Amino acid sequence: RARFASLPESGEVWLKLGLCFGRLGEIESARTALEQAVTLSPGSSEAWFALGVIRQDQREPALAADAYRRALDLAPKLAEAVVNLGICCQELGNLPEAKANYRRALEIRPDSFGRIAQALSAAPVGEIWLDAAALRRSLAT
């Protein structure tokens, strides 16, 4: 934060800085900038979502889930945040909550099915479905 003391106190500026750092792979700087962004602009779903992504990249699923929930409080139709929240829940061992989020994501954006199917089989707590249609039906109920 000290190295950026001359930046304006604008959540949008800090969000853009955080996104730039994230693209450069400077994860710690990205996190610092995004934490400042949500402090300055707590109503920015984009900043909360970006912070969730960084926290997830740092293998902090509980903190990432918190950020995704904040993003979804502000933008309930943000399908990417719902999918990522499901992945975090799954990583935390809560498969029922993960599947509830995946179901919600499919309602918002049906084309997220492939990512959800992959996530279900990739985490330590998950499921492998050999029949994609059966998986789709199970998430629709």
CA distance 42 to 36: 10
Q: Which of 102, 78, 107, 108 is nearest to 88 (CA)?
A: 102
Residue 127 has a pLDDT of 83
CA dihedral defined by 128, 134, 135, 140, rounded to 10 degrees? Answer: -160
Phi/psi at 10 (nearest 5 deg)? -125, 125
Residue 5 has a pLDDT of 60
- Tell me: the pLDDT tens digits for 2-50? 566 666 788 899 999 999 999 999 999 999 999 999 999 999 999 999 9
**pTM (two decimals):** 0.89
Report which residue type is found at 79.
A
Report which residue type is found at 21.
F
Higher per-residue pLDDT: 68 or 130 = 68
Residue 25 has a pLDDT of 94
Q: 115 falls in which pLDDT band (50, 70, 90)?
A: very high
Residue 125 has a pLDDT of 81
Higher per-residue pLDDT: 68 or 6 = 68
